């Protein structure tokens, strides 16, 4: 089964991809499908002995450019449609034991270019409404392949959370005439919640952080998508991101698990919707210190109301100090 079903009670689509039950699950290092293919060794997803960054179609995609017809016939109340879209895998390095926090600023800079390139390529499909690069890192967030990698999903519509951001941005612009994220940058720069200040990007614990040590990276200028960044802005994004990730490991004292997502303007939609988008990254570790994890329980799951254990005014200085101490490879 591979299809999308509309939920009329929440005004959103849910994707069913039951074939993903058979995807690779916590293989031994010797059987990792994301490692390079070595002479005499098993063939992996990447048929070369060395590489910097590799991008390829997911073998177990939730969305497909050639989806099968739905198994279920929809109704007026609950329409059903093919699960159209794209799902790509981005492998950050050929070193199985590395992490994005350890590969160095040069590799992160190369990844920024890869993200931007794939964003533009996927957005060129006129059936796509939103492109979301992301990384799930660590067993604490449910990762089943430990080789450092991320994914890029291209959806046929704007998913619920980015859609809520768009609505909030529209309300703010109608009320003030300004971009809400630009106003956030103006408020937060130089403040107690800042973690890393760059020339083009500002990283800080947002005042509304949903996770105890969430860090957002906001573009200082009003820019909607990664491909719009010039060379200097991409350099700065790599520097800021590399230091934030190294700071996490420095603060917690271990390889930090997290969810990382890149929020952008919608693609192929009306111009007045695209102009509302403001490029930013969200990094959400589940850790809350002392070996404890932040779980999404009843209030978050059923109410959508997040409860957070650490004040952003406490988390910001802690992470800023750790990021300043951390060693970031070149």
| Candidate list 50, 96, 117, 149, residue with the active-site label | 149
Alpha-carbon torsion angle 271, 273, 274, 280, nearest 10: 170
Count of CB atoms situated within 10 Å of the CB of 310 = 18
Q: Is 149 an annotated catalytic residue?
A: yes
**In angstroms, rounded to a whole number, what is the distance separating the alpha carbons of residues 218 and 200?**
9
Q: What three-state secondary structure class fits 323?
A: helix
Burial code (b: 16+ CB inside 10 Å, e: under 16) for 213-223 equals bbbbbbbbebb
Q: What is the DSSP string of 42-56?
A: ---SB-SS--S-EEE
List the beta bridge partners of residue 131. Answer: 154
Q: In sequence order, which ranges of the chain are alpha helices (DSSP H)?
A: 105-123, 160-176, 180-188, 231-252, 271-274, 298-303, 312-325
Alpha-carbon torsion angle 223, 227, 209, 302, nearest 10: 110
Catalytic residue numbers read 149
């Amino acid at each position: 089964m591979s299809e999308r079903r509309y939920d009329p009670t929440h005004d959103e689509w849910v994707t069913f991809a039951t074939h993903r039950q058979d995807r690779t699950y916590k293989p031994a290092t010797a059987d990792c499908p994301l490692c390079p293919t070595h002479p005499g060794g098993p063939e992996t997803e990447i048929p070369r002995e060395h590489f910097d960054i590799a991008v390829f179609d997911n073998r177990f995609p939730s969305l497909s450019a050639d989806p099968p017809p739905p198994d279920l016939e929809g109704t007026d109340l609950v329409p059903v449609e093919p699960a159209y879209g794209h799902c790509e895998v981005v492998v950050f390095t050929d070193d199985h034991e590395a992490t994005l926090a350890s590969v160095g600023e040069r590799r992160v800079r190369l990844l920024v270019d890869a993200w931007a390139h794939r964003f533009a390529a996927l957005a060129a499909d006129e059936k796509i409404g939103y492109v979301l690069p992301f990384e799930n890192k660590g067993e604490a967030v449910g990762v089943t392949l430990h080789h450092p990698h991320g994914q890029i999903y291209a959806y046929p519509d704007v998913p619920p959370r980015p859609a809520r951001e768009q609505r909030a941005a529209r309300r703010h612009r109608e009320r003030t005439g300004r971009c809400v994220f630009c106003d956030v940058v103006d408020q937060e720069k130089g403040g107690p919640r800042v973690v890393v200040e760059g020339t083009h990007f500002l990283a800080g614990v947002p005042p509304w952080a949903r996770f105890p040590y969430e860090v957002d990276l906001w573009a200082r200028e009003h820019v909607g998508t990664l491909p719009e960044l010039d060379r200097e802005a991409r350099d700065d994004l790599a520097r800021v991101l590399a230091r934030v990730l190294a700071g996490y490991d420095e603060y917690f004292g271990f390889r930090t698990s997290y969810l990382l997502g890149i929020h952008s303007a919608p693609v192929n939609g009306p111009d007045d919707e695209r102009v509302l988008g403001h490029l930013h990254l969200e990094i959400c570790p589940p850790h809350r210190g002392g070996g404890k994890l932040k779980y999404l329980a009843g209030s978050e799951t059923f109410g959508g109301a997040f409860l957070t254990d650490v004040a952003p005014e406490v988390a910001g200085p802690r992470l800023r100090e750790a990021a300043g101490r951390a060693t970031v490879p070149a």
